[in-house]
Amino acid sequence: MDNQNLTPPPYREDVVSQAPEVIVETADVAKLFTKVFYWMAGALGLTALTAFLVYSSESMMMTILMNRWLMWGLFIAELGLVMGLSAAIHKVSFSTAVLMMAVYSVLNGVTLSVIFLVYTYSSIAMAFVISAGMFAVMAIVGTVTKRDLSSWRSILLMALVGLIIASVVNLFLHSSTMEWIISLVGVVLFAILTVYDTQKIRRLLIEKNGLVSEEGMHKIALLGSLELYLDFINIFLFVLRLLGGNRR
């Protein structure tokens, strides 16, 4: 994302494209975001249900906790599904894309089931409420803001890589102070990414001038829901870490 220039440009491209943008927004953007949040809510619900069911099964929890390679396999499978869905969304059928999204949500639920062993129900519920409120505000900002955030992509990518590196380093350092800083930065970063991704979804439709088939609209919504799903999950996990004083 990038800050707007302080000096005005020699001409206003937004004025030139204002008419089609308004037409697209009033006709399709609200419909698109309804689909986006519908799919996102479904994915979150599937993840939460899977996590609780796995946690409720002692044998499944023991299998996960006693098999480190299984956790790595789940992680690699999740990463592959996210990358595959993002790359092939416009090549595969919509039903296949939905299936990939569902499988990813289930796998993520399996890996997230361990949080019930680490945190109390009250801290998990509190983290969810805080994350939901923060996400809602950032999503609204991304929907209504007129500032072009597209050029912030490289900055956000570098920040994300830095956050991952810092997290890996702290696996060896075990620094509680560093963990707190990483968690705080993570919350801020994914809050900004929520604004960025929300605007990107709207911009994608506007760039197509609304000329999208019904299946194309569903695919854009599904891919957008995946990105916002990831933003929300990460906000939730980092908030949960900040509330770490409520661990069992």
Tens of pLDDT, residues 11-47: 333 433 333 444 455 557 888 899 999 999 999 999 9
Does residue 10 fall inside a structural domain? no
Return phi, psi of residue 172, to 5°: -95, -30
pTM of the full structure: 0.86
Which of 94, 95, 107, 93 lies closest to 46, judged by CA? 107
Distance CA(110)–CA(49), nearest Å, equals 10
Does residue 124 fall inside a structural domain? yes
Does residue 94 fall inside a structural domain? yes
Contact yes or no for 184/167 (Cβ under 8 A): no
Tens of pLDDT, residues 192-219: 999 999 999 988 877 765 556 778 888 8
- What is the reported pLDDT for 202? 86
- What is the reported pLDDT for 68? 86
Which of 201, 219, 206, 230 lies closest to 135, judged by CA? 230
Does residue 15 fall inside a structural domain? no
With pLDDT > 70 as the criterion, what percentage of the chain qualifies? 85
Which of 237, 232, 224 lies closest to 197, judged by CA? 224
Does residue 92 fall inside a structural domain? yes
Averaged pLDDT score across all residues of the chain: 86
Does residue 67 fall inside a structural domain? yes
Tens of pLDDT, residues 127-173: 999 999 999 999 999 988 888 888 999 999 999 999 999 999 999 99
> What is the domain extent for residue 230?
22-245
Fill in the amino acid letter for 125.
Answer: A
- What is the reported pLDDT for 4? 43
Does residue 3 fall inside a structural domain? no
Distance CA(141)–CA(158), nearest Å, equals 23
What's the number of domains the chain is made of? 1
In this structure, what token pair is assigned to residue 67?
A: 């098999």
Does residue 113 fall inside a structural domain? yes
Q: Strand, coil or helix: what is 12? A: coil
